[in-house]
Amino acid sequence: MIDRVANSSSQGLRTVIDSYLRYLQVERNASDLTIKSYGEDLDALAEYLEESFALEPAPSEVTTLDLRGYVSAVSEAGYSSSTVARRLASMRSFFKFAQRQQLVEKNPAKPLRNPRKSQKLPHFLTTDEIGTLLNAPPRSSSAGIRDRAMLETTYSAGLRVSELVGINENDLDLRDGLVRVRGKGRKERLAPLGSYALVALEKWLDIRQLSPKSEKLKERPVFLNKFGNRITTRSVGRMLEKYLKESGLDLRTSPHTLRHSFATHLLDAGADIRSVQELLGHKSLVTTQIYTHLSTATLKGVYELAHPRAKA
């Protein structure tokens, strides 16, 4: 512990924190939840600094080194990178306020960088699990035929669930095996459809019955609910959950998991990452790179084939 004495002529840290929270409430009209979050973050900081200084310091005495020590302590305590980043944001904002109030010369939190966010690998299904899921909808009912077409189309084209439910009749080109997809930011792309998806779509379109309301629409939806209107993303989620339970598959699986699985399986099979980027409609290659988590077996196989001294 560093033995330091606070400057008694300056306002104490907690007094300034109280002033800052009032400023957020009165002048910034911040929500109660925001004020509560900032208050908790700054209270934790004050407690750490009081322990470090042996008494309450003034904001002017807090250095970047002090704050770096606090950030390290928070990280070592096991807090997530997003929590550390939020506490850094609270500190920067607080000391910026203190600087405007001429209580500090410089903002000691400004030089601190946010921690790198730990990138969680997306959950995906194996090819065998995908096969089990896609075979789960019954072929004997119209709902089952529709559900199979939705699941096959989602996995075949790597679609977001919003893209799936947004498909209209004039987006499909079954002869050439393509579907026009409207992604984020209204950006359009053409996505290929495999033979399984094409067969499932043709069967569904043969029995699909639009409601009078949908019949009158210029862009008639492909996937419908039981009333003949465009199905919602929530309904797709409920449909998927039903088949997951029936198949005994991981209930963490969401409609987006099929998109993750699509990308993972393509890359594991040797597809070029830039091609997968285009198929997914990603603006940045960095976004696609989260899918490059090849299995250990795949990597070992590549190594044994490629390395001149992998095998005797």
**What's the mean pLDDT in 297-311?**
67
Higher pLDDT: 187 or 64? It is 64
Residue 104 has pLDDT above 50, yes or no: yes
Torsion from C-alpha of 306, 308, 310, 312, nearest 10 degrees: 140
Q: Which numeric CATH code is attached to 127-255?
A: 1.10.443.10
What was the pLDDT predicted at 215?
A: 80
Q: How confident is the model at residue 300 (pLDDT cuts 50, 70, 90)?
A: low
What was the pLDDT predicted at 268?
A: 85
d(CA 60, CA 41) in angstroms, rounded, equals: 19
What was the pLDDT predicted at 302?
A: 63
Residue 248 has pLDDT above 90, yes or no: yes
Q: Tens digits of per-residue pLDDT, 5-54?
A: 334 346 899 999 999 999 999 999 988 889 999 999 999 999 899 888 87
Q: How confident is the model at residue 3 (pLDDT cuts 50, 70, 90)?
A: very low
What was the pLDDT predicted at 7?
A: 42
What was the pLDDT predicted at 307?
A: 74
Catalytic residues: 160, 184, 256, 259, 282, 291
What was the pLDDT predicted at 282?
A: 85
Q: Are 89 and 67 in contact (CB under 8 A)?
A: no
List the single range of 23-32, 39-48, 148-157, 266-275 with lowest mean pLDDT. 266-275
What was the pLDDT predicted at 217?
A: 80
Residue 186 has pLDDT above 60, yes or no: yes
Domain ranges of the chain: 13-100, 127-255
Q: How confident is the model at residue 118 (pLDDT cuts 50, 70, 90)?
A: low
CA nearest to 146, candidates 216, 258, 221? 221
Higher pLDDT: 227 or 284? It is 227
Residue 90 has pLDDT above 90, yes or no: yes
Residue 297 has pLDDT above 70, yes or no: no
Mean pLDDT over each residue of the chain, to the nearest integer: 87
What was the pLDDT predicted at 140?
A: 93
* Residue 274, phi-psi category: left (phi > 0), alpha (psi -120 to 50), beta (remainder): alpha
Higher pLDDT: 284 or 19? It is 19
Q: Is domain 13-100 in CATH 1.10.150, yes or no?
A: yes
For the chain, the three-class secondary structure string (H helix, E strand, C coil) is CCCCCCCCCCCCHHHHHHHHHHHHHHCCCCCHHHHHHHHHHHHHHHHHHHHHHCCCCCHHHCCHHHHHHHHHHHHHCCCCHHHHHHHHHHHHHHHHHHHHCCCCCCCCCCCCCCCCCCCCCCCCCCHHHHHHHHCCCCCCCHHHHHHHHHHHHHHHHCCCHHHHHCCEHHHEECCCCEEEEECHHHCEEEEECCHHHHHHHHHHHHHCCCCHHHHCCCCCECCECCCCCECCHHHHHHHHHHHHHHHCCCCCCCHHHHHHHHHHHHHHCCCCHHHHHHHHCCCCHHHHHHHCCCCHHHHHHHHHHHCCCCCC
